[in-house]
C-alpha cells in the first residue's frame, strides 16, 4: 500500500435515505469504482426508480472514467442498493464481503426466499480480510470491520478509507449493533483497526444525519479527527464504556424504515425478487418478525 497515492473521490448524497455513495477513481488511469450505490424506492407506492444511479453514471461519463467495480461495504438495512442496475447497464462486477453468506442465510430464511442461496452467488466477487486488488495503478486493501453486521468491510485505497456504516462523522458517532449478527464489542475492535491507520488518512462515511449544531451535511473526515472527537469512541474511550453506551442507545432506536424492502433486495445484490406467474414482482412483509 502506497500511503501517498491519492484517489479522486466524489460523494453523492441521497437525502431520502441519508446515504452517501462514492465514485472513486485513479487519477493516473481513469479506472473507477462506485461504492454503495442507491436504488431509489418510494415505499408508499412500492416503486423503484434510478435517479441516484443515473447521477453516479453521469459523473463517471462526465469525467471520462472507466468503471471497473461496484463495491458494497455490507448489505444495507436503510436503502436498496443500485448495484444490480449498474451491473446491468455497464457490466461492472459487484463485490461484497465474504461473510455476506451469513446475512443471506438469516434473511433468506426470514423472507422464505427460495431463490436466495446463502453462497454469495448473487455477487460476482467476495472479499476476505486482507484481500487486495487493483483499481488502475492503485492498490485496494480490504479490511473486515464487523460489528454493525457480520459482513461489513472497509476499503482502503491510498490515503483514503471507505468505512460504510462502521463510523459516522465525529459528531454523530458510530453504527448501531442490534441487527442480527451485530455486536457492540466486535464493532469497537473493528473501529480500533481503523483508528490505527495513519492520522492523515481521509475517512469517508456511509451516512450523515446532520446532528444538532451542524448546518451542512458532511461525509469526509480523518482518522485523527475520529480519534480525538468521535462522540462514541474518541478520546480513548474504553471498550467496556463503549459497549455500555452503544447497547443503551441501540435499545432506544426504532427499526429503519426500509429495513424489510432493503434487505430482501440487497441479499440478491440489488436484483428484484423473481416474477410470479402474472409477471409481477412482490416484496414480502413478515409480521412480528423483527
141, three cell numbers: 486493501
Helix runs in the chain, H state only: 51-62, 83-90, 100-110, 184-195, 223-229, 239-250, 259-266
Q: What is the pLDDT of residue 2?
A: 56
Task: Give Cβ neighbours of residue 241 (< 8 Å, ≥ 6 apart).
Answer: none
Q: Which residue ranges of the chain lie beneath pLDDT 50?
A: 1
The residue to which cell 458494497 is assigned: 72
| Cell numbers that stand for 236 in this block | 480513548
- State residue 290's pLDDT score: 83
Indicate the length of the chain as a whole number.
290
Residue-level pLDDT at 1 = 47
d(CA 50, CA 55): 9
Which DSSP helix (H) or strand (E) runs through 20? Answer: strand 19-25
Asked whether the beta carbons of 203 and 191 are under 8 A apart, the reply is no
pLDDT of res. 4 = 59
Residues 6+ apart with CB under 8 A from 279: none
139 DSSP β-pair partners: 134
Distance CA 234, CA 242 (A): 10
Q: Sign of the CA dihedral 216, 222, 225, 227?
A: positive
Rounded to 5, what percent of the chain is helix, strand, coil?
Answer: 25, 25, 50
Task: Let me know the angle formed at the C-alpha of 161 by 119 and 28, rounded to the nearest 5 degrees.
Answer: 100
Amino acid at each position: 500500500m502506497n500511503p501517498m497515492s491519492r484517489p479522486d473521490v466524489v460523494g453523492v448524497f441521497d437525502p431520502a435515505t441519508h446515504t452517501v455513495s462514492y465514485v472513486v477513481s485513479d487519477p493516473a488511469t481513469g479506472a473507477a469504482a462506485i461504492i454503495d450505490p442507491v436504488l431509489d424506492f418510494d415505499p408508499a407506492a412500492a416503486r423503484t426508480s434510478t435517479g441516484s444511479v443515473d447521477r453516479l453514471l453521469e459523473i463517471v461519463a462526465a469525467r471520462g472514467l472507466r468503471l471497473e467495480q461496484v463495491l458494497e461495504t455490507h448489505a444495507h438495512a436503510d436503502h436498496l442498493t443500485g448495484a444490480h442496475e449498474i451491473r446491468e447497464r455497464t457490466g461492472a462486477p459487484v463485490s461484497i464481503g465474504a461473510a455476506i453468506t451469513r446475512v443471506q442465510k438469516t434473511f433468506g430464511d426470514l423472507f422464505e426466499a427460495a431463490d436466495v442461496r446463502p453462497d454469495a452467488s448473487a455477487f460476482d466477487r467476495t472479499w476476505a480480510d486482507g484481500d487486495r486488488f487493483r483499481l488502475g495503478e492503485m492498490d485496494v486493501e480490504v479490511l473486515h470491520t464487523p460489528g454493525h453486521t457480520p459482513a461489513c468491510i472497509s476499503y482502503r485505497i491510498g490515503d483514503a478509507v471507505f468505512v460504510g456504516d462502521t463510523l459516522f462523522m465525529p459528531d454523530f458517532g458510530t453504527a448501531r449493533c442490534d441487527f442480527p449478527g451485530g455486536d457492540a464489542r466486535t464493532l469497537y475492535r473493528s473501529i480500533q483497526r481503523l483508528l490505527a491507520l495513519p492520522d492523515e488518512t481521509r475517512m469517508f462515511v456511509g451516512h450523515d444525519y446532520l446532528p444538532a449544531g451542524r448546518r451542512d451535511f458532511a461525509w469526509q473526515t480523518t482518522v485523527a479527527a475520529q480519534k480525538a472527537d468521535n462522540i462514541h469512541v474518541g478520546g480513548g474511550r474504553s471498550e467496556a464504556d463503549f459497549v455500555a453506551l452503544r447497547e443503551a442507545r441501540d435499545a432506544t432506536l426504532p427499526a429503519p424504515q426500509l429495513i424489510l424492502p432493503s434487505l430482501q433486495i440487497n441479499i440478491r445484490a440489488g436484483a428484484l425478487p423473481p416474477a410470479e406467474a402474472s409477471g409481477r414482482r412482490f416484496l414480502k412483509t413478515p409480521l412480528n418478525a423483527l
